[in-house]
Chain A
Amino acid sequence: MSRRLRLWLLAVGGAGLAALLAAACLDLPGFGGRAHPYGTRAVRASLARHTANTVASVNFDQRAYDTLGEMSILFAAVLGCVVLLRQARDEHRERPRPAEVARPVRRYALLVVPVALVCGLYVIAHGQLSPGGGFQGGVVAATALHLLYLGADYRALERVRPLGTFETVDALSVCAYLVLGLAGVLAATAFLANTLLPYGTFDTLSSGGTVPLLNAAVGIEVASAVVVLLANFLDQAVEIEEGNGG
């Protein structure tokens, strides 16, 4: 394809996209108005199934299938990173030297690690009740663990995160989501349908049927995926060197 043709193709595509976007924007309801046709229906459906956080209800009940796709995307992306960032044949590992950490940094980091970790777990556990959920809490919990790298050093971090376990847990939690969906099929409704479990008392931890379970599966998956991802980046940045070494 010549350069001229490619530019023409780009121009036509861009113009089409701009026209469609402009047409869609003209049909949008006014900013900050009172009428929300989709919102009203989503809130009604989530209240009918005793899920206090409508966003969690949309993610794990009304659009649970979309979340399965998003979860698989994250899983595949992390898998790709693990394959790309693995130690190649012409590289070797060098033990990082213990680093000196300023005392205030160390004290602050070690103080914040448990607080941040509990925060992350809280956000996962209360996904069906308050803003947040598996994804947000998972990222918070996983990044909280890496404060150990700031407060102590890389060896300390490696000791608290056995990488093989996290990789297995990552895969298992994706399977758990699928199995929960299939359980819906076996109970004679549909894949990922939230008709399996009793809906419980509104605004309690166990309310919402399968929503808390799917939420927990996503939380564990995201937390271990982020830990595995960061571990591979850290390995490359800190340990793996070019050349075969001695």
Chain B
Amino acid sequence: MTGVLNLVALLLVAGAATAAVAQRDPARQALVLSVLGVLLAVLFTVLQAPDVGLSQLAVGAALTPLLIMLSVRKIRRRGRGRDGAR
């Protein structure tokens, strides 16, 4: 039973990670990364490491995507400002 659970969690993580790499738009990539973070947290919990799972949930699913989104927003805004000045 736990073997099946491990396998399903692993496959989901592999799928989400591949999707994150395949996605080329950074803003969407951040969203996929967030899903990957949640799935990794599930995998760690299934593998009996709830402490690591919690860290992964907080950092991987919330903090990192948020930082990426903010950076993307800054860069896009800067590009727009330059175009306006021209």
A233 within 8 Å of B by Cβ? Answer: yes
A226-B63, A236-B74, A237-B74 are contacts. A123–B54 as well, Cβ < 8 Å?
yes
What residues of A have a CB within 8 angstroms of the CB of B53 in the complex?
A: 131
A146-B66, A226-B63, A234-B70 are contacts. A241–B54 as well, Cβ < 8 Å?
no
On whether the beta carbons of A55 and B58 are closer than 8 Å, the reply is no
A233-B70, A242-B78, A242-B81 are contacts. A143–B62 as well, Cβ < 8 Å?
yes
A window 121-159: CB within 8 A of B: 123, 131-133, 135-136, 139-140, 143, 146
Beta-carbon nearest neighbor of A116 in chain B: B62
* CA gap between A237 and B81 in the complex, in Å: 13
> B-side binding surface: helix, strand, loop or mixed?
helix
A55-B51, A242-B81 are contacts. A139–B63 as well, Cβ < 8 Å?
yes
* CA gap between A190 and B81 in the complex, in Å: 57
* CA gap between A242 and B83 in the complex, in Å: 13
Number of residues from A at the complex interface, CB < 8 A: 23
On whether the beta carbons of A133 and B66 are closer than 8 Å, the reply is no
On whether the beta carbons of A132 and B73 are closer than 8 Å, the reply is no
Q: A136-B51, A230-B67 are in contact. List 9 more A-B contacts (CB 8 A).
A: A55-B51, A136-B54, A136-B58, A139-B58, A140-B58, A143-B62, A143-B66, A230-B63, A236-B70
Chain B interface residues toward A at CB < 8 A: 2, 50-51, 53-55, 57-59, 62-63, 66-67, 70-71, 73-74, 77-78, 81
